A and B are shown apart, each in its own frame.
Chain A
Amino acid sequence: MLTARQRLVALSGGGLVLAALFLFVGLAIARLVALGGWAAALAVVTDRYILGVLQFTLFQASLSTALSILFAIPVARALARQRHFAGRIWLVRLLAVPMGLPALIGALGLIAVWGRQGIANQGLSFLGLSEPVSIYGLTGILIAHVFFNMPLACRFLLIGLERIPGEYWLMSASLGLRGRDVFRFIEWPVMRRILPGVAGLIFMLCATSFTLVLTLGGGPKATTLEVAIYQALRFDFEPPRAIGLALMQIAVTAVILAVIALLPAPEDRGLTLGKPVRRLDAGRAGARLADTVAIGVMLVFTALPLIAVLVAGLRSDLMKLVAEPIVHEAALTSLVLSLSAGLIAVVSALAIVHAQQAAAGGGLLLRGFSLALAASSALVLLVPPIVLATGWFLMLLPTGDVGAFAAPLVAAINAAMALPFVVRLVGPAFREHRIRTGRLAASLGLSGWARLRLIDWPGLRKPLLMGLSFAMALSLGDLGAVALFGSDNLMTLPWLVYSRMGNYRTADADGLALLLGLICLALTVAGTLPRAETPEEDRNR
């Protein structure tokens, strides 16, 4: 439903983003390789230590991904089925908070629950167990990765489940489908369509995990490639080796993602808007019990560490912290940076899905283009921020004032890291929106700004805002990219948290972490405002 010109504009938009992405990553890598040549970079594939690290990286990432998803499925199912209970929207919002926390803060929150002195062990000792159960090791890594990623999977699954038309539920009730039939015939097909993408994202996040793996891993047996990359770039200063490791990380993960992508999944055909959703199966005793358990377990698992962060934060001198100019500065810098990153990510994601839409049904070339868009917008997550930052630092050195580029560069790096998430969030909504409005808009001859303002913005506002808040939360908690440039240029909140921790001021750090969590929650609230109930819905509720 696009004119030739619209199609061209859409395709070139996607091409532009693709080119920018390639240049952004490629130039950084090329600049670093130039320091020592490919031979040094490629030597990593024969390094036995590295191969061991690679093995562990993949092992823990696979396990973390599987557990996150297995946990998320019943929770998302329960939240989709139980649509009306007090606090449901806050529960959904809660799912967004872990993502915005710096890894170290999340780890400390988890330790307050699962650590040797944590709530879990205190409970056990109350039951008469004298030796504390230790989570340090694979267990700790898995708990942490599930804590950070199960909510992510849950959100994506929930979005998918909530797009199922209302008639399906009425029909399934009328046909007498029981819980397991509903799962088999309705819920699972929808989840199966979403899971490969989500699993890919989670796998990449877990594979590139650093602080969590080291802090909770109990020893150097638990080492990821990201640790080796950091070591190579920062401690040993062997940039080509770092690049070799980064490329290894990208290549191996790309293979795994390709395999995941090849798993048969029903196509997303863009469902038409149906009747409002009424879940008659929500009240059944079995469903109620299963859902209460799933939501309860999720709540305890996710909320307890967050409560620990909250309690620790409240113990700090919050009033004093909030009055500090440097905290204002850091908060504002963080917000401006994450807003820039979020906007770049959302606009790029829109360009990508728009181009994919325009390329759909085209020839081999267009299909290849579409695939390249999908692959590059996903794999960018695997490029370690420290590699991008270091490469660009070197690139910009000749300008004489690298510091001046710190802000835009950090925003760009964060945007690139958020892009895969935003594409997954905005993509389905965009396709659905275009199916719904494409013909009408085309027949009315609406295009350009008018179409954007009158049709696209109202229809896509919700997913776009959600994508923006998602991307912002993600870059809010990020520490990595800023580290190289130094605090004289950019002082962000996570940086301030680390800085205070590095100076014995743990109470301050706890307080700042709480602020960070609250900002994250506020962003999520903005991204998930309850939709205005339409009269139609009102009538049928």
Chain B
Amino acid sequence: MPSHIIRNLVSAAALSAAALLGLHGPASAADKTLTVYTYESFISEWGPGPKVKAAFEKTCGCTVNFVGVADGVALLSRLKLEGAGSKADVVLGLDTNLIDEAKQTGLFDASGVDTSAAKVPGDFKDDVFVPYDYGHFAVVYDTQAMKTPPASLKDLVEGDPAQKIVIEDPRTSTPGLGLLLWVKSVYGDKAGEAWGKLKKRVLTVTPGWSEAYGLFTKGEAPMVLSYTTSPAYHMVAENSDRYQAAAFSEGHYIQIEVSGLLKNAPEKQLARDFLAFTLTPGFQDTIPTNNWMMPVAKTSEPLPDAFGKLVNPEKTFLMSPEEVAKNRKAWIDEWLAAMSMN
């Protein structure tokens, strides 16, 4: 059983000691290694990671080494901490809202990948970052607790305060920031007022998606801020159509997940190959039922039926990364002020 863990811990301790003493072991003479920084749930055994690794290793003659951190934001923090000395070749899992900040670090290089195969609503194009999946933010509701879900953001904002929603905090989570931008996209200068109204329906504001979704599935609130793809999980994995996303007539804000390669990547060509690989079926096949997001390019098989039943937004909101980066603080302050009023 897990004796290898003890070995790992011991060797980790030994390595630490060795590193402290300035000793370095001989470099291993194995084949090339591609180091990919990503978020943890991507590489967990039920995530896309294992399949992606196997598929890419079949063609590249290399070893894929995933390093997983908590989430997309942590990913960027880690890069900033490591700076130019980072061992990463590829960073996979930033979203569009983080792109501008990521570029500011000056650590990324143009991908050089033809992204014409990638079809993303809202026509996202970037020469540094390659999109690999997307999802629209949506209010997911419990059909057993709510017969008529809100049909628009306006409905949500002005609806019955007794019907609660759990949302995420834009200060600590990407979905929280997504909702903030969604409300801003629809309400513009009136966003503050809208939050003032929506506040009455907000049961609580959680630090992250997990807490919010946990409260929701425990039945605490009939609505939660999540993704249009969330119901697919319940339909495919649990065979249940209890949880559904509400289609909003104004449109939905989109989250696009991207990957990029680093200027100082030790294996730059391999990294470029990997980015190109993310747009092929070998990668895209894993997205729908492992990452529970929408693929951006062709999959080898049609998507499961459940995906056909998902809300397909007619209009997609997406602010430019620069605009988000420029206004994020002011908008969060606006949100704080509106949400803290009595």
Contact = CB atoms under 8 A, between A and B. Distances in A.
Q: In the complex they form, do A and B come into direct contact, defined as C-beta atoms under 8 angstroms apart?
A: yes
A57 to B, nearest CB: 15
Which of A136, A489, A495 gathers most chain B CB within 10 Å?
A136
A377 to B, nearest CB: 24
27 contacts: A108-B214, A116-B219, A116-B220, A134-B203, A214-B204, A215-B206, A218-B204, A218-B205, A219-B339, A220-B205, A220-B335, A221-B340, A230-B172, A230-B207, A332-B6, A390-B77, A397-B81, A397-B82, A405-B12, A486-B40, A487-B44, A488-B65, A488-B68, A500-B44, A502-B209, A503-B46, A505-B46
A126 interface: no
A502 B41 contact: yes
Nearest to A324: B45
A220 B66 CA distance: 35
Interface in B242-280: none
Which of A329, A396, A405, A487 gathers most chain B CB within 10 Å?
A487
Which of A108, A219, A495 gathers most chain B CB within 10 Å?
A219
Interface string A213-249: 0111111110000010011011111000000000000
Interface in B40-67: 40-41, 43-47, 65-67
A504 interface: yes
Summarize A's interface: helix, strand, loop or mixed. Answer: helix
Interface in B164-187: 164, 169, 171-172
Interface of A: 49, 104, 107-108, 111-112, 115-117, 131, 134, 136, 140, 210-211, 214-221, 227, 230-231, 233-237, 325-326, 328-329, 332-333, 336, 390, 393-394, 396-397, 399-401, 403-408, 483-489, 495, 498-506, 509
Nearest to B290: A503
B210 A333 contact: no
Nearest to B219: A117
A108 B219 CA distance: 11
Interface of B: 1-2, 5-6, 9, 12-13, 15-16, 19-20, 24, 40-41, 43-47, 65-70, 73-74, 76-78, 80-82, 85, 101, 162, 164, 169, 171-172, 199, 202-211, 213-215, 217-221, 230, 233-234, 237, 292, 329, 333, 335-336, 339-340
Contact of B80 (A227, A237, A326, A404): A237
Contacts of B16: 404-405, 407-408
B27 to A, nearest CB: 11
A234 B6 contact: no
Given A220-B336, A336-B5, A486 B207 contact: no
A219 B203 CA distance: 8
A120 to B, nearest CB: 13
A506 B82 CA distance: 33
Contact of A503 (B41, B65, B85, B203): B41
Contact of A488 (B66, B169, B172, B329): B66
Given A235-B172, A404-B12, A499 B41 contact: yes
Contact of B12 (A390, A483, A489, A499): A489
Given A484-B74, A488-B68, 9 more contacts: A115-B218, A116-B220, A214-B211, A397-B82, A405-B12, A408-B16, A483-B70, A484-B69, A502-B41
A394 B204 contact: no
A210 B208 CA distance: 11
Which of A108, A210, A214, A396 gathers most chain B CB within 10 Å?
A214
Nearest to B209: A502
A408 B13 contact: yes
A127 to B, nearest CB: 19
A136 B233 CA distance: 29
A249 B66 CA distance: 36
Given A215-B204, A329-B2, A502 B77 contact: no
Contact of B215 (A111, A325, A326, A484): A111
Nearest to B168: A214
A329 B9 CA distance: 11
B336 A112 contact: no
Contact of B73 (A104, A235, A394, A400): A235
